[in-house]
Amino acid sequence: MRQQAILSTYEQLAQRHANIGITVQAHLHRSVEDLKRALVLPGKIRLVKGAFKEPQNLAFGRSAELNEHYLQLAKLCVEAGHDCAIATHDQEIIDELQKREYLKLPQVELELLYGVRPELALSMRKAGVPVRLYLPYGKEWYLYLCHRLAEYPPNVHKAIADMLDPVRTTRLGYEG
């Protein structure tokens, strides 16, 4: 199994290098156990919902249950005092993280896809939340981008508006 191989490799590398990290996909049923294994190692843990559809016996679908599972993983990281990146554009999750004051903790940062919800990145930075922007690359970057657009349809509208008035984004201060 792919996740097992990745986790085993991470465990080996983390024993030799502190500047390393791993991504844990919240939609996988196994993610709590994977996270517990990663929490005893150095390096940053990046929490994502999971971008690709997996069989129901392996993963949660997009649902309130998945959001709860994501928040449970965030709580495990925070309670362990572990460095973590909360990688989500989901406003409901971000609101709950703020309510719990997780985003105020020095070991927690918010990760957002570059160009997706730039107003969120700006407002979080202004609120003192460390924000990291990332760009997907590789063979499946387009599939990943389409998944992100489907997850938050207002981005499609924003892209069309930006094509019609490309200067607008810069005027509003959404430079990334």
* SS3 label, residue 176: coil
Task: Look at the domain 2-136 and name its fold.
Answer: TIM Barrel (3.20.20)
Q: Using one digit for the tens of pLDDT, what is the confidence trace for 60-81?
A: 888 899 999 999 999 999 999 9
* Predicted TM-score of the model (pTM): 0.79
Q: Cα separation of 23 and 73, whole Å?
A: 12
Q: For the chain, what are the domain ranges?
A: 2-136
> pLDDT digit string (tens) for 95-136?
999 999 999 999 999 999 887 888 999 999 999 999 999 888
SS3 content of the chain, % helix, strand, coil (to 5): 50, 15, 35
**Which stretch of DSSP H or E encloses residue 46?**
strand 44-48
- The pLDDT tens digits for 129-176 are 999 998 887 887 777 777 667 766 776 776 677 667 766 554 444 444
Predicted confidence (pLDDT) at residue 9 exceeds the cutoff of 70: yes
| Cβ density class 129-157: b for 16+ within 10 Å, e for less | bebeeeeeeeeeeeeebeebeeeeeebee
Q: Residue written as tokens 């495990």? A: 76
